[in-house]
Amino acid sequence: MQAMSEKNLGALGDRARLSNPVHFLALGFGSGLSPKAPGTMGTLAAIPVFLLIAWLPLPAYLAVVAVVCVLGIWICDRAARDFGVHDHPAIVWDEIAGFLVTMIAVPAGFLWVVLGFLLFRLFDILKPWPIRWLDRRVHGGLGIMLDDIVAGVFSLLILHLLIWLVGG
């Protein structure tokens, strides 16, 4: 799999290596190498991560998400510098973090995971204010992470509203 994925690095060429732990994480365990919709593939890669930590008590879940987000600033900044491209589409650690934010205190049921996925992708793609503003004005690892974290917060709010409305 690594040999095939290494071929999909395209314009990244020799600058990205799945054998490099920072690149492996930044590339969403390889999901960001998808030639089509790498952000969507990165969000799909976040689902098993969510399912692994969904059973944690809320304070522990929040601690894991905080570590993923804070560490993500460094991971994304380092990968962007290594790749020579700010927020290269293959960098999808921010999608993983954003989805985990979306799913804070959300039941791990199939319906909620699918709705969380769809809401997060919607906000991440459309980038309504202030997401687009942040995406354009904040640079470096913080800029790569921040717009997805805010998209995750928007998705989280709507998801919790839906849960409250249906009594989920």
Phi, psi of 61 (to 5 degrees): -60, -45
* Higher-scoring residue by pLDDT: 76, 135: 76
- Provide the whole-model pTM: 0.91
| Residue indicated by tokens 């974290």 | 149
State the pLDDT at residue 15.
Answer: 75
Share of the chain above pLDDT 90, in %: 80
Q: How far is CA 112 from the centre of its chain?
A: 17
Residue ranges per domain, the chain?
Answer: 2-166
Neighbours of 110 (CB within 10 A): 8
pLDDT digits (tens, 9 = 90+) for 5-34: 444 455 666 677 888 999 999 999 999 999
